[in-house]
Each structure stands twice: as C-alpha cells, then as structure tokens.
Amino acid sequence: MDDNLSTGQIGGDLGVAKALLDAGQLVGIPTETVYGLAANALDPDAVLRIFQVKNRPTFDPLIVHTDSLEKIGAFVTHIPDVTRRLAEVVWPGPLTILLPRQNIIPDLVTAGLSTVAVRIPAHPLTLALLQSLAFPLAAPSANPFGYISPTTAQHVADQLGQQVPYILDGGPAQIGIESTIVGFAADETLTVFRLGGLSVETLEAIVGQPIRVQTHSTDNPAAPGMLSSHYAPRKGLTLLPNPELMDTSSILAERRDIAASGALVFQQLLPNIPPTQQRILSLTGNLAEAAKNLFRLLRELDTLPIDHIYAQPVPNFGLGRAINDRLARASYQ
Ligand code: TXA
Ligand code: MG
C-alpha cells in the first residue's frame, strides 16, 4: 500500500498515520519530549525496520507507548504500587517505567530483557493515534543512532525522511529532552536509570522518599540505555569545566582558533567567541526553557561554519541535571 506516498512527508493526518502503522510501516510521531520513530510494537518485522532505519544496535531496547494504564496490563505481569502511583500522577507525561514483561512483547523490543519500558506520552495527536490503534507503538527517538534527538517534524524529515513515509506534525516538542526512566535495581530499589524530562526532585516529591540515580557511563553497557557517547553533534564538543567560567580564552588558546569555534551557553554570551557563533539556552536562566531549546540549538551550531563547539554546563538541579547529562554524553570522545 501507499506506493504513491513519497517519503518524508510531513502532515497532520491521523488516518494516513494509522493506515501506515496498520500495514507494518514506520511513522514519525510527536511527543512532549522528543519525536519518536514508531511501529507496531507487537510485530517483530515492523520493529526490525526501526533498528535498520536508525542504524541502532539490537542490544538497545525500545520504549513501548500506549494510551492507558489498562492497556499496559496486557504487556506486563504486574505493576508494583510505587510505580502505579507514579504512573497515575505523571502519565500522560515524560516518564518511562521498566516493568516485568509478558511474552506478547517481542524479544526484539526488550533486547531479550525480562522488563519492558512503557510510557504514556502527553501529546494530543499521538494519544488520539494510540487510541485508534489495536496495538501499542514501539518508538525510540527519531534520530540516527547516537545523534541529537529531534524536537520538530522537520528534524525527523531532515535526517530520516528518505526512509520514513510519513511524519505526523505536532509542533515543536514542549519539553525537548527525553523521558526520565525509572525501574527497580537488582536489590529492588526504585532507581532512575536515565535523567530526563521529569526531574528527580519531582519524582521524590511524588513517592515521598529519596530515589537512587544510577546513570552509569560505559561503552559496553551491562544494562542498556547508558552509552557514554550519545546525543552528539557531528562536530567535536567540549564541555566547559563549570557554569561560572565566563572567560574561555585560556581554554581556547590551548586548543583552537577562536574564529572557528562556537558555543552553547546558558544565559549570557562568552566574551571570547564571536556572538553569531553562540546560542543561548535561556536568557532568563529558566531550566525548562533551556531543556526545550537544547537539541534545536545544538543542531543549529552543528550546521554553522565552525569546527568545534564549547558547551557551558547549566546549574545542576531540576531539569539542569538532565541537560548536563546530555551535554556530557555529547562531549564524550
Ligand atoms: O522521551 C522518550 O523516552 C522518547 C520518546 C519518543 O518517547 N523515546 C526515547 O527512546 O528516548 P530511545 O529509544 O531513544 O531511548 C530509550 C532508552 C534507551 O536508552 C534504552 O536502552 C532504554 O530506554 N530502555 C528501553 N527498554 C529498556 C529496558 N527494558 N531496560 C533498560 N533500559 C531500557
Ligand atoms: Mg534516543
């Protein structure tokens, strides 16, 4: 079907998206965090296409998206009380929960793990799409593996358009950074495995106790989702040592030509780099605004005629922790 549909089309037609997904094809979908590359999560052939199009290693499992807690009952064996409470408060929202899987979820989705990652995203178009479908959607971020996640439909078309027939346009992602992932460690402690669009402080307020954060960096992860190098621009990126450092001349003198450098800064321009080669995350120092702008501005810097990017860390609390995590992984060589 749809042989006449040219690839990489952007539009707002739920009927087109549903027909493609029903036929086992891929569709770009908007969420409040980042855009996803979606396929029928119960169809291994469709899921395999996701890995091929993203050039993603199959040891890195996918998140299953659905639109109701009731539907999740068919994919998981049970939902522990503390995670049920989180789900009830946060969903639809930027939280992914690792839960014990049922066999209906293909091995390819979970990379053979005994848990499945599930999430109800907060975007009206995608929720309506999920309601209309007879199956949940497996959807990683819609970027080539390792590259910056997309926060607009155009970002998806630019990078994967040749291989994706349709991208549902839901406007710019409101949060701009991927969902926070929680699950249980081997000792059954509730643990954050990926910092993301829901802050640790907010999670702790909901569950009423401190939560362990365990986002290891490794090149050969024992648990997936923790690759050191990720979210990276094509250009080299150096993370500055601290948010307060404003005079970068010593660092620049060591390494490169100022004229060929750019910078991603938090609130104000650095004095040593040409202003047109800098991007400001949030003039007012608002971390939610910074998160929303992060990937778009990194992409902009990546297309400028510069050969290196300096990034200033942001204050390390709230969404700032997730932003700093992304910058650190983007800088990893
Ligand atoms: O905000 C988001 O979560 C976006 C939107 C599209 O929903 N999706 C997203 O998917 O960021 P992706 O594939 O780029 O990242 C999913 C992460 C991966 O790091 C993967 O290793 C981890 O979730 N993951 C998935 N299933 C897992 C599991 N069973 N155990 C541990 N980690 C898992
Ligand atoms: Mg991703």
* DSSP string covering 20-89: HHHTT--EEE--SSS-EEEEETT-HHHHHHHHHHHT--TTS--EEE-S-HHHHTTTBS---HHHHHHHHH
Q: Give the Cα separation of 34 and 226 in Å (integer).
A: 18
Mutation pick for ligand 1 pocket among 26, 53, 116, 178 (CB with most ligand atoms within 8 Å): 178
Over the chain (333 residues), the average pLDDT of each successive run of 10 is 68 98 98 98 98 95 97 96 97 98 97 97 98 98 95 96 96 98 94 97 96 75 60 86 75 72 94 94 98 97 93 97 95 76
- Whole-number Å distance, alpha carbon 117 to ligand 1 midpoint, is 7
Note the pLDDT tens digit of each residue in 267-297.
999 988 999 999 999 999 999 999 999 999 9
pLDDT at 2 (0 to 100): 46
Beta-bridge mates of residue 38: 27
Phi, psi of 85 (to 5 degrees): -65, -45
- Ligand 1 atom at minimum distance from 179 CA: 1
Closest residue by Cα to atom 31, ligand 1, is 224
- Ligand 1 atom at minimum distance from 35 CA: 6
pLDDT at 220 (0 to 100): 45
Q: Is the peptide bond before 172 cis (omega within 30 degrees of 0)?
A: no
- Ligand 1 atom at minimum distance from 116 CA: 29
Q: Give the Cα separation of 326 and 92 in Å (integer).
A: 23
Closest residue by Cα to atom 15, ligand 1, is 140
Residues with CB under 6 A from ligand 1: 31, 33-34, 36, 60-63, 96, 98, 110, 113, 115-117, 119, 121, 139-141, 178-179, 181, 223-225
User: Helices H, strands E: what count in the chain?
Assistant: 11, 15
- Whole-number Å distance, alpha carbon 243 to ligand 1 midpoint, is 29
Q: Which of 159, 164, 190 is nearest to 85 (CA)?
A: 190
Q: Give the Cα separation of 283 and 220 in Å (integer).
A: 38
- Whole-number Å distance, alpha carbon 142 to ligand 2 midpoint, is 7
Mutation pick for ligand 1 pocket among 26, 181, 220 (CB with most ligand atoms within 8 Å): 181
- Ligand 1 atom at minimum distance from 96 CA: 3
Q: Is the dihedral of CA 68, 71, 75, 76 positive or negative?
A: positive
Beta-bridge mates of residue 95: 180
- Whole-number Å distance, alpha carbon 61 to ligand 1 midpoint, is 7
**Model pTM?**
0.94
